[in-house]
Structure 1
Amino acid sequence: MALPDILSRLRLPVVGAPLFIVSTPELVIAQCKAGIVGSFPALNAREKPGEPVMLEAWLAQITEALAKHDRDHPDRPAAPFAVNQIVHRSNARLERDIEICARWKVPIWITSLGARPEVNEAAHACGGIALHDIIDDRFARKAIEKGADGLIAVAAGAGGHAGALSPFALVREIRDWFDGPLLLSGSIATGAGVLAARAMGADLAYIGSPFIATEEADSAPEYKQMIVEGRASDIVTSALFTGISGNYLRPSIVRAGLDPDALPQAGDPMSFAGGSSKAKAWKDIWGAGQGIGAVKAVEPAARMIDRLAAEYAAAKERLLTS
């Protein structure tokens, strides 16, 4: 099945994953201008009581910046952007954020932590598409049954709330029955990795952790440096911090005064009541995926994407000439 038009004209078959706290309009705009889908979690846009709704302001900023880019560069228009909706039952902001995104005609909706038909319907009603992230084939089937247009397979090694399955097994099981848009997440940090994801059966790569170390990311300088200095062995898997198994940077756990080799098995159940997660209490416990060894410096997002594109082309050329 052909990809939806909105995903078929990218410079590089990549979606920048929505990064909790880290993704900002500046990062999204830079990603889209450079030719990949940029995204952010709706819950990143927070305002204090009585202040203007920040999500409205962010969507206006992104929409206007990308429209100006397209006017100035008709020969290389920006890629579309996406907004991530956390559809967990504790997210009290969900209904409000759905209405705002529908009004702004957000082109790509990414849903996480539950499949909700009404969210998919809202995306379709404003002309958008809905992509749902999953960690196994059972959840993938549920997402499509409930109206998602495509899937994001979150495999072992991904940052944040990663799955436990090998990408080879996960993609193969999904492709046995689903021929729609399929994205793959899990330690993809090079252009060769993007090509490998496509060879495996995915349509696009879903890349998050490397963008933590970009100039536009709203991450602490120490966080960015940990990404640059880190390797796969620096990633610790734990359910302590949010109640759901996730991957975190070992040095950040040590800095918080905890022993990464002797963590309790699980923490409090995840909650997004009031628009924020209990993970906020652990804001210094920093998430990342196993692919961070490929990140060598803090740099502008556009430069990182240029390198990914060059690596992707070189990887294809190697295969064609081998």
Structure 2
Amino acid sequence: MFDRLTLPLMCAPMSFASSVPLATACCHAGVIGGWQGGTITPFELFEDYLTALADTGGAPPIVNMPARWGSDPAGADRLALLERYRVPLVLSSLGDPSALVERVHGWGGRVVHDVTTMKHAEKAIAAGADGLMLTCAGAGGHTGFLTPMAFVPAVRGMFGGLLIVAGGIADAHGIAAALALGGDIACMGTRFIATPESGVVEGHRTMIPTVGADDIVASAAMNGVPAHWMRQSIEAVGLDAKALPNVRSPMPEGVMPWRDIWSAGQSVGLIDAVEPVAALVARLKAEFEALPPGPDWRARLTAIEAGWA
């Protein structure tokens, strides 16, 4: 599946930002198209994704699901659809992925587990995950707090499988850095929010190129889990960005995090325009190939995929 990649790059699954047009545009452009398959996605739209992505002829898609759905009846209908469409990659999060790994392996798919700590990386490896997504400091939405300079090499030292590196990446230098640290694929989220294809409201999309890293606020006030938000969107709903408690707190009436308070990572300062996916990927490819040669990412991914056979 990785032989169809234009770049060692993945678009992150993101609440509200994931959309069928975004995922399909990414796959057509040759980067892994991530989409959010959890409860935020209605069941009808879930199948729309699968239908649209069934045969893009491009890079593989990856769907994000709660790890518990491997054994929880709440996820049975969605897992059945994933099996019917033989989805190649599943990104699991929040829990033990062992049951999900067994189920996905049954149809020939592979599971990447999202982790933010060494402890969780070790548990995911023990559970049989085929790969890990290391969500590092600087990521938008639910963020990690470990620097990739320490996190990625430490995990690579104990794990030979697929490593996807996320957090603060928005340009070709970030992709190259992820590979140099021992990663196999870089993951961008915020950069893909600022595309016409993303599912966010227009204000979210257009705010990203206007703000900088100092405008990113880390807080658990919105839903109880530390995440990064744009200060201007916090203030727009009447909250004081400097006085947010670091525990889940009541929001103003009618305000929903992600829909009304907008998430972004520290890479916002590297984004200066809303850009269509095809043009964005073409530009990143040209800039990446103009850099000094780094690790042979294609050979590495070929070896990983051969090991899965």
Q: Same fold (TM over 0.5)?
A: yes
Q: Are 2:2 and 1:7 aligned?
A: yes
Runs of 4+ in 1 over 6 A off after TM superposition: none
Give distance in 2, aligned partners of 1:136 and 1:246: 15
> Of residues 53, 57, 61 in structure 1, which corresponds to 2:52?
61
Give distance in 1, aligned partners of 2:35 and 2:68: 17
Q: Are 2:153 and 1:153 aligned?
A: no
So what's the TM-score if we normalise by structure 2?
A: 0.88
Unaligned runs of 5+ in 1: 1-5, 48-52, 71-77, 270-278
Aligned in 2, Cα 1:93/1:54: closer, same or farther, shift over 3 Å? farther
Are the equivalent residues in 2 in contact too, given 1:38–1:80 (CA < 8 A)? yes
> Of residues 28, 46, 57 in structure 1, which corresponds to 2:42?
46
Give distance in 1, aligned partners of 2:87 and 2:125: 20
Taking the TM superposition and a 5 Å limit, the aligned residue runs for 1:264-303 are 264-267=245-248, 280=256, 283-303=259-279
Are the equivalent residues in 2 in contact too, given 1:87–1:94 (CA < 8 A)? no
Root-mean-square deviation (CA), in Å? Answer: 2.2
Query: Which residue of 2 is the match for residue 256 of structure 1?
Result: 237
Instruction: Report the CA distance between 1:218 and its aligned residue.
Output: 0.9
Are the equivalent residues in 1 in contact too, given 2:97–2:113 (CA < 8 A)? no
Instruction: Report the CA distance between 1:45 and its aligned residue.
Output: 2.8
Instruction: Report the CA distance between 1:7 and its aligned residue.
Output: 3.0
3-state SS, counterpart of residue 80 of structure 2? helix
Q: Are 2:25 and 1:25 aligned?
A: no
Aligned in 2, Cα 1:281/1:160: closer, same or farther, shift over 3 Å? closer
Aligned in 2, Cα 1:200/1:281: closer, same or farther, shift over 3 Å? closer
Q: Encode CA deviations 1:225-268: one digit per residue, 9 max, x unaligned.
A: 11111211111000111111111111110011111111012106
> Of residues 258, 261, 285 in structure 2, which corresponds to 1:309?
285
Query: Which residue of 2 is the match for residue 218 of structure 1?
Result: 199
Are the equivalent residues in 2 in contact too, given 1:133–1:154 (CA < 8 A)? yes
Are the equivalent residues in 2 in contact too, given 1:140–1:151 (CA < 8 A)? yes
Aligned in 2, Cα 1:173/1:221: closer, same or farther, shift over 3 Å? same
State the AA in 2 paired with 1:162.
Answer: T
Give distance in 1, aligned partners of 2:68 and 2:144: 17
Unaligned runs of 5+ in 2: 296-309
